[in-house]
Amino acid sequence: MKTLFYQFGRAPEHSGSGFSFRPFLQKGFLLQSLTLGLLLLTTNSFAQQEKVKDSLQGTPVVLDEAIVSAVRVSADSPITHSNLDKDQLAERNLGQDLPTQLNFLPGVVTTSDAGAGIGYTGFRVRGTGNQGINVTINGIPYNDSESLTTFFVNLQDFTSSVENLQLQRGVGSSTNGAAAFGASLNILTDAVSEEAYAETSHSIGSFGTHRHNVKFSTGLLNDQVEISGRLSQIKSDGYIDRASSDLKSYFLQAAFQDENTLIKLINFAGSEVTYQSWFGIDQATLETDRTFNPAGIYTDDEGNTQFYDNEVDDYKQDHFQLHWSQGLGEYWSTNLSLNYTYGRGFFEQYREDEDFADYDFEPIELGGETINTTDLIRRRWLDNDFYVANANATYRDNRLEAIFGGLYSTYSGDHFGEVIWAQFSGGSSIRDRYYNGDAVKNEFSPFAKVTYRVDDRWSVYGDVQGRFISYETDGTNSDRALFIIDETYDFFNPKAGVTFELNDQNQFYASYARANREPNRTDFENGNPAPERLDDFELGWRHTDSSLQLNVNAYYMDYRNQLVLTGAIDDVGAPIRANSGESYRLGLEIDANVKLSDKLSMMPNLALSTNKNRDFFFQRDGVLTNLGNTNISYSPDIVAGNIFTYKPIEGLQLSLLSKYVGEQYMGNIDSETSKLDAFFVNDINIIYELKNVPVFKSIVLNALVNNVFDETYESNGYFFTFDDDFSNPGTVTTVEGAGFYPQAGINFLAGATFKF
For the chain, the domains span 27-755
pLDDT at position 76 is 87
In angstroms, how far is CA 738 from the centroid of its own chain? Answer: 24
DSSP one-letter code for 537: E
- Cα separation, 487 vs 281, in Å, equals 37
Radius of gyration of the chain (CA): 26
**Which pLDDT score is estimated for 365?**
87
Least confident of 31-35, 103-107, 453-457: 31-35
- 672 phi, psi to nearest 5 deg: -65, -30
For residues 64 and 188, give the distance between their C-alpha atoms in angstroms, rounded to a whole number. 8
Instruction: Let me know how long the chain is.
Output: 756
Within 13 Å of residue 259, how many CA atoms lie on the same side as its CB? 3
Report the distance separating Cα 596 and Cα 40, nearest Å: 7
CA distance 98 to 158: 7
Would you state the pLDDT for residue 727? 66
Residue type for 368, please?
G
| pLDDT, tens only, 358-415 | 999 999 988 888 999 999 999 999 999 999 999 999 999 999 999 999 999 999 999 9
Buried-exposed string 485-522: b where 16+ CB fall within 10 A, e elsewhere: eeeeeebebebbbbbebeeeeebbbbbebbbbbbbbbb
Collect contacts of 252-256 with beta carbons under 8 A, ≥24 apart. Answer: 252/227, 252/228, 253/189, 253/190, 253/226, 253/227, 253/228, 253/229, 254/225, 254/226, 254/227, 255/192, 255/225, 255/226, 255/227, 255/228, 256/224, 256/225
* Residue 33: alpha-carbon gap to chain centroid: 29
What fold does the segment set 27-755 form as a domain? Answer: Maltoporin; Chain A (2.40.170)
Residue 591 pLDDT > 80: yes
- pLDDT tens digits for range 241-278: 999 999 999 999 999 999 899 999 999 999 999 999 99
pLDDT surpassing 70 at residue 225: yes
Q: Which residue has the higher pLDDT, 91 or 366?
A: 91
Q: Return the percentage of the chain with pLDDT > 70, whole number.
A: 91
Q: Letter for the amino acid at 620?
A: R
Q: Is the pLDDT of residue 51 over 90?
A: no
The per-residue pLDDT for range 686-696, each reduced to its tens digit, is: 999 999 889 99
* Average pLDDT across the chain, whole number: 89
* 13 pLDDT more than 70: no
**Shortest CA distance to 605 belongs to which of 104, 259, 203, 117?**
104
Indicate the SS3 state at residue 119: coil
| Half-sphere exposure for 671 (CA within 13 Å, toward CB) | 19
CA gap 100, 118 in Å, rounded: 9
Judged on CB neighbours under 10 Å (0-12, 13-18, 19+), 455 is: exposed
Q: How far is it, in rounded angstroms, from Cα 272 to Cα 646?
A: 37
Nearest alpha carbon to residue 232 among 247, 217, 220: 247
Average pLDDT on 704-732 reads 88
Residue-level pLDDT at 726: 67
Percent of the chain with pLDDT over 90: 80
Provide the pLDDT confidence category of residue 427 given band limits of 50, 70 and 90. confident
Predicted local distance difference test score (pLDDT) of residue 94: 95
Give the mean model confidence (pLDDT) for residues 326-338: 92
pLDDT confidence bin for 67, thresholds 50/70/90? confident
User: Greatest CA span in the chain, whole angstroms?
Assistant: 92
CB contact at 8 A, 129 and 122: yes
- Please tell me the distance from the alpha carbon of residue 671 to that of residue 719, in angstroms, as a whole number: 9
First to last CA, the chain: 20
Whether pLDDT at 558 is above 80: yes
How far apart CA 347 and CA 599 sit, in angstroms, is 50
Q: What own/partner pairs with CB < 8 Å and gap ≥ 24 does 627-630 have?
A: 627/669, 627/670, 630/668, 630/669, 630/670
- Residue 592's SS3 state is strand
CA nearest 182: which of 576, 635, 579?
A: 635
Phi and psi torsions of 594, nearest 5°: -125, 125
Distance CA 721, CA 524 (A): 20
User: What are the residues facing 580 on neighbouring strands?
Assistant: none
Q: Check: CB of residue 17 under 8 Å from CB of residue 84.
A: yes
pLDDT category at 670 given cuts 50, 70, 90 is very high
Output the pLDDT for position 71.
85
Is the sign of the CA dihedral 724, 728, 730, 734 positive or negative? Answer: negative
- For 604, the 3-state DSSP assignment is strand
Point out the least confidently predicted range of 126-135, 191-200, 325-334, 425-434.
425-434
User: Coil, strand, or helix at residue 164?
Assistant: strand
Q: Residue 102 has what pLDDT?
A: 94
Angstrom distance (rounded) from CA 699 to CA 701: 6
